[in-house]
Amino acid sequence: VRDDPVAGTRAGTIVEVEAYIGEEDLASHARFGETARNRVMFGPPGMAYVYLVYGMYDCLNVVTEPAGRPAAVLVRAVAPSEGIDLMRAARLEWAIGRRRAIQPGQAGRIADLPVARLASGPGLVCAAFGIDRAATGTDLCDPASPVRLEAAPAAVEVAASPRIGVGYAGVPWTDVAWRFFVPGEPSVSGRRRR
């Protein structure tokens, strides 16, 4: 859930995540130990860790283990349920602000995007919800936080696969099935719905 005091509320159901566990996990940002960037991962659980990847995409993570044990879950996709117009507006605003040259017709494409595709990827989740690195350290479990987690109905089915884009980590970290998603759900990222 994301509350904006003026614009309103955006909400959705998380349908795809990845787990990153400990300094020994060579796919995790914690693999180099504590640094300025990943400091919040070493703190108490329930906090947001937002980082920039590939120079343009913010990715939202939830710290999951007690202080001293760096672990987080990457939120890879959300099925929007509330504030659809707000998400669309945020996606367009993001595209204009972040991309050097906005392609002709891009505004139209975002306007025509199916609801299920508004937050169907880790970068898109942040773009749709207006989340960036400034949100790092937000207590996602505090009902008063502008960005927060709420309980959702349990998925009927959850599938697992290897994590995406972690080829640099090597075996076994490239192979371990720590990506979890709702199979067939149209908001799951890219062509990875199964």
Partner DNA sequence: GCAAGGATATCG
Partner DNA sequence: GATATCCTTGCA
* Of positions 52, 89, 116, 176, contacts DNA by CB under 7 A: 52
Q: Which of 27, 23, 28, 78 is nearest to 49 (CA)?
A: 28
Residue that is written with structure tokens 């299920």 in the block: 116
Comparing CB distances to DNA, the nearer of 154 and 181 is: 181
Q: How far is CA 50 from CA 44, 98, 129, 136, in A?
A: 15, 16, 13, 5
Comparing CB distances to DNA, the nearer of 75 and 147 is: 75
User: Does residue 190 bind DNA (CB under 7 A)?
Assistant: yes
Q: Give exposure, 10-37, as e/b (b: 16+ Cβ within 10 Å).
A: bbbbbbbbbbbbebebbbbbbbeeeeee
Stretch that binds DNA, among 3-11, 22-30, 78-86, 144-152 (CB under 7 A): 22-30
Stretch that binds DNA, among 45-53, 81-89, 138-146, 149-157 (CB under 7 A): 45-53
Comparing CB distances to DNA, the nearer of 154 and 163 is: 163
Residue that is written with structure tokens 């860790």 in the block: 49
User: Does residue 170 bind DNA (CB under 7 A)?
Assistant: no
User: Does residue 72 bind DNA (CB under 7 A)?
Assistant: yes
Residue type, 148: R
CA distance 61 to 41: 9
- Residues lying near DNA in the complex (CB under 7 A) are found at 18, 20, 27-30, 32, 35-38, 51-57, 59, 61, 72, 74, 99-101, 103, 106, 109, 121-124, 133, 163-168, 189-190
